[in-house]
Structure 1
Amino acid sequence: MVRVLSNRVSREDIAAGDHIYSWRSAYIYAHHGIYAGDGMVIHFTRAAGHEIGTGTFMDKFLFSSSPATGDGPPCEKCGHLVKAEGVIMSCLDCFLDGGSLYLFDYSVSPTFFLAKARGGTCTMAPSDAAQVVVHRAQHLLNSGFGMYSLFKNNCEDFAIYCKTELLIETAFSLGRSGQMASLYAGFSAVASSPLRFMTTSVAGLAVVTSSMYCVGRYVSDMGVRRDVIKVPVERLVEHWVQNVTLAPAPSQATAQATQTDAAAPGDSPELLKELAKKECVI
């Protein structure tokens, strides 16, 4: 019952590989990371002014970077480790930035999941072993986790990937973040105007709206979604390259030029086929 009301824990209760978070800006949102042990946290941050890829008004009250990257003197413990953006390692104090410590739950039941009305606190998806989780986080500390996006690729998305190895298969789908899923579910519940006419009472309207909100959160959870795939961390960079299908496809002339550069004039048809297969590999 206590975990339903609050996921708050003490520092002695966390271990390497745990997904932890801390609320920011009067509980408007939370910043997430992976505890690496020895008082250090690996987390995904944005560059200043680039919360959703471009400068927006949200940058005035949304922040995720370690205080060590701010205007004050760097932290004596982790200031030399912290980068300006991307996947960084900082001490637990800098990660919390004066806030409380919370533990993200995995493999929760549907009942427990829906009882946690606020998203970004738990998931029905199972977690991998702690040493594997830390390995992924450390690997991404060196190789990066793509471009930060508040709605598609944020700190919670990073932590969930480290814990589960799951990525969204399609580029246009909602991200892994439970916080964003709750936001979308809330908007969808309010915007579902046809359902408002199913009842004329205030109580009935509340039931319909809350039901839509719960359904929206449930179907967006990584534990039940069907548009997710397991992508090993060693292949993650290749996955990003493949999904940068946001960029225009190369023209036929460019593709022909690439094939010409890849194969020498005397190459056999069999070798050309092998090269073509390699180009198709993720």
Structure 2
Amino acid sequence: MGVLSNRVSKSQVSPGDHIYSWRSAYTYAHHGIYTGDDQVIHFTRGRDEELGTGTILDVFLVSSRPTTALGRCEKCGVQADSSGVVLSCLDCFLLGDPLYRFEYGIDPMTFLAKARGGTCTLAKSDDKELVLHRANYLLNNGFGCYHIFRNNCEDFAIYCKTGLLVVDQNMIGRSGQAASFLGAPLAAVVSSPLRFVMTSPLGFAAVTAGVYCFSRYAADIGVRRDVAKVAVEDLAVNIRPSTITEQPNATADLLSLDNNSPAVNNGLPPRS
């Protein structure tokens, strides 16, 4: 893995890998799980739902749907207006953009050296057999409603790789790029009062960068304390057919199935 780029060739990816491709001149990335045989399972949005707001704001980001506007892909059969969890060919997933591999279990220094979120995590990946089981199970059962901050394509891929689910519905999801997007303005706001006591613009920039890096680190799925490890069968039961955003108590109901289980709590102390 490179510090500046996680770019790989098609021959370098293996089944169970979390892959992604940058969209709109590196504005955001689309993520998925490579299953082998030139196929990818990924979570896509419906028309004009990239932000998940149902407002005009949704149209400002380019579609993450797996095919072009030409209709049906002759190679994999995916429709241009497909949404939800889909299986497509790698070409439809990439849409002509380069291929990158998301990295797991990296050290904190390498993580902080990354300028952008959504490329790696301190969390460790499960075995590929379990990763592929989760991805295929959710292909048939869905992953709830797409939301750019709480339930997006990166959240889907990270869940498939780790089985970790954010407990607090009001917080951002597992997505590193969402944490980066929210962390930049946070860093500016927190650092702004310090500009009056700093004589050097370089010092102010360093503080801002430090706050940004800390916010990314604190939001990483590998260090957060508001996550639980949930079996995919339990997850699918609780989010199908309703959406996560429409059922704010869905996660609480899910965790109450086995509230004191170490497997569910990801090794955390039992909740009272």
When normalised by structure 2's length, the TM-score is 0.85
Cα deviation, residue 239, structure 1: 4.0
Residue 62 of structure 1 corresponds to which residue in structure 2? 62
Q: For the residues of structure 2 that align with 1:247 and 1:131, how far apart are their CA atoms?
A: 30
Percentage of identical aligned residues: 53
Q: Structure 1 unaligned runs (5+)?
A: 250-279
| One-letter amino acid of the structure 1 residue matched with residue 220 of structure 2 | D
Q: Cα gap change, 1:248/1:76 in structure 2, threshold over 3 Å: closer, same or farther?
A: closer
Shift of 1:142: 0.3
**Which sits farther off after the overlay, 12-21 or 188-197?**
188-197
Structure 1 position 52, deviation (Å)? 2.6
Aligned ranges for residues 43-62 of structure 1 at < 5 Å? 43-53=42-52, 54-62=54-62
Q: Which position in structure 2 is the counterpart of 1:275?
A: none
Task: List structure 1 runs of 4+ shifted beyond 6 angstroms.
Answer: none
Q: 1:19 and 2:24 equivalent?
A: no
Q: Which residue of 2 aligns with 1:240?
A: 239
| Separation in structure 1 between the aligned mates of residue 206 and residue 170 of structure 2, nearest angstrom | 30
* Counterpart in the other structure of 2:30: 31
Aligned CA RMSD, in angstroms, stands at 2.2
202 and 130 in structure 1: CA distance in 2 versus 1, 3 angstrom threshold? same
**Structure having the larger proportion of residues in helix:** 1
Aligned counterpart for 1:175 among listed residues 164, 173, 176: 173
- Point out where structure 2 has 5 or more consecutive residues left out of the alignment: 250-255, 259-272
TM-score, normalised to structure 1's length?
0.82
Aligned residues of 1:165 and 1:233 also touching (Cα < 8 A): yes
The alpha-carbon distance between structure 1 residues 58 and 207, as it changes in their structure 2 partners (threshold 3 A), is: same
The corresponding residue for 1:120 is 118
Please, which of 147, 150, 161 is the counterpart of residue 149 of structure 1? 147
- Cα shift readout 1:184-236 (whole Å, capped 9, x = no counterpart): 11110011133333422101101110110011000000010000000100000
Q: Is the 8 A contact 2:71 2:79 kept in 1?
A: no
Cα gap change, 1:125/1:281 in structure 2, threshold over 3 Å: closer, same or farther?
A: closer
| Cα 1:26–1:83 shift into 2, 3 Å | closer
Q: Which amino acid aligns with 2:178?
A: M
Rg larger in structure: 1
Tell me the matched-pair count: 249
Q: Could you say if the C-alpha distance between residues 60 and 248 of structure 1 is closer, same or farther in structure 2, counting changes exceeding 3 Å?
A: closer
Distance 2:88 2:130 in 1: 20
Q: Does 1:185 align with 2:183?
A: yes
